[in-house]
Amino acid sequence: MSTGILLLNFGEPATPEREAVVSYLERIFFNNREIEGDTTEAEARERSRELAERRAGPLIEEYEVIGGSPLNEQARKQAQALEDRLCERGREVETYIGMQFTEPFIDEALDSAIADGHDRIIGLPIYPLCGPSTTVDALEELRAAADERDFDALQELSGWHRHPDYPRLRADAIEAFAEERGVDLTDPETALVFSAHGTPQHYLEEGSRYDIYVTEYVETVAGLLGIDEYELGYQNHENRGIPWTEPEIEDVIETVDAERVVVEPISFMHEQSETLSELDVELREEAEEAGLEFHRVPIPHDDERFVGVLEDLIEPFIADFDPAVYQFRQCECRDEPGTMCLNAPIE
């Protein structure tokens, strides 16, 4: 059986061109339209365009500073590395990337996989922590596209931050970076700060377990590092005047009682504007204004062990053995029969 593997992701504009940025933002705002309450589709699209136009200027400036987002290119390299690894093991697979908000879109990736003759397709979101507007929405978009095309040989994989190798490789990246910088993580004057992508409180009130996953994951990485004292903050995008996750990362930095901070961006598997601009530029400025020495851990997007994590996640479904052997269970965040994850509790 020939398998197409769709690695699903957020996407970001590779260049700071205004129309590309506005279109990108408009899709994001429209995708999250429910948080503003009941409205017609036309009203939601108008509101999304209005918000996108308002937010575009500052984001374009961010992309100009960082030279455009490297997210898509890093995603392509990850996909190719996974394909190479699986093909070396004799698996008949091809990998594709499908983005929620920039080309190639998820439905386009699905069309490519179907056109290439694959009779089984696996959708795997490359989000370390399962969230409603990321992991869940990406899979729902993929499922809707498959239904429209009457393609029913689709397998969906959801949350995977509990894969044992993943927190270990992130902990190793923190340790290696600290050693390179000559920073002692156990020094009382060093504060380890985990920075997670924020989410509107609306989703948590609706039942999302995202904040639980964040807390659990941070505790795991800190435990692997042997660190008892650490901080957690959220990178929020308050464009709509609605409550987001707390505490905000900026507030956390203001209250740090140390000489230096080491910031680990736990929600990301690629470098992107949230790391290269929000952390490396904006948060650095706030930290240095507060008299703090600032260090940000790079994303280990090209760590070979991450390819191994992806390989492990895919393996039960291409080798046709019971996914429960690898601790996969029915996903609770996306309660759709056949959506499997590593996060659901054992009954």
Q: What confidence tens digit (pLDDT) does each residue in 95-133 have?
A: 999 999 999 999 999 999 999 999 999 999 999 999 999
Question: Domain 165-296's class?
Answer: alpha beta
Q: For residue 238, what pLDDT is reported?
A: 67
Could you count the other beta carbons within 10 Å of the beta carbon of residue 191? 23
Transcribe 245-290 into DSSP letters: -SSBHHHHHHH--SSEEEEEETT-SS--HHHHTIIIIIIHHHHHHT
Exposed, middle or buried: residue 130 (CB in 10 Å: 0-12, 13-18, 19+)?
A: buried
Whole-number Å distance between alpha carbons of 285 and 140: 38
Task: Say which residues have a Cβ less than 8 Å from residue 64's Cβ, sequence separation at least 6.
Answer: 16
Q: What confidence tens digit (pLDDT) does each residue in 67-76 have?
A: 889 999 999 9
With a cut of 70, say whether residue 57 has pLDDT above it: yes
Structural domain boundaries in the chain: 165-296
CB 156 within 8 A of CB 139: yes
Q: Which two tokens stand for residue 38?
A: 């009941």
Which amino acid does the sequence have at 62?
A: E
Q: For residue 1, what pLDDT is reported?
A: 77
Whole-number Å distance between alpha carbons of 263 and 283: 10
With a cut of 80, say whether residue 203 has pLDDT above it: yes
Whole-number Å distance between alpha carbons of 210 and 14: 28
Eight-class DSSP state of 11: -
CB 116 within 8 A of CB 84: no
Q: What confidence tens digit (pLDDT) does each residue in 61-104 have?
A: 999 999 889 999 999 999 999 999 999 999 999 999 999 999 99
Whole-number Å distance between alpha carbons of 74 and 47: 32
**In whole angstroms, what separates CA 135 from the centre of its chain?**
8
With a cut of 90, say whether residue 260 has pLDDT above it: yes
With a cut of 70, say whether residue 38 has pLDDT above it: no
Residue 37 — pLDDT band, cuts 50, 70, 90?
low
Torsion sign across C-alpha atoms 127, 132, 159, 228: positive
Q: For residue 240, what pLDDT is reported?
A: 62
Q: What confidence tens digit (pLDDT) does each residue in 237-251 have?
A: 766 678 999 999 999
Q: What confidence tens digit (pLDDT) does each residue in 162-198 have?
A: 999 999 999 999 999 999 999 999 999 999 999 999 9
Mean pLDDT of the chain: 94
Q: For residue 106, what pLDDT is reported?
A: 98
Residue 31 — pLDDT band, cuts 50, 70, 90?
confident
Residue 42 — pLDDT band, cuts 50, 70, 90?
confident
Residue 36 — pLDDT band, cuts 50, 70, 90?
low
Please state which of the ranges 11-20, 31-40, 182-191 shows the lowest mean pLDDT: 31-40
With a cut of 70, say whether residue 206 has pLDDT above it: yes
Dihedral pair phi/psi, residue 54, rounded to 5°: -70, -40
Q: What confidence tens digit (pLDDT) does each residue in 126-157 have?
A: 999 999 999 999 999 999 999 999 999 999 99
CB 92 within 8 A of CB 1: yes
Whole-number Å distance between alpha carbons of 206 and 224: 32
Whole-number Å distance between alpha carbons of 240 and 341: 31
Dihedral pair phi/psi, residue 60, rounded to 5°: -60, -40
Whole-number Å distance between alpha carbons of 340 and 321: 14
With a cut of 90, say whether residue 41 has pLDDT above it: no
Residue 293 — pLDDT band, cuts 50, 70, 90?
very high
Cα-Cα end-to-end distance for the chain: 32
pTM of the full structure = 0.93
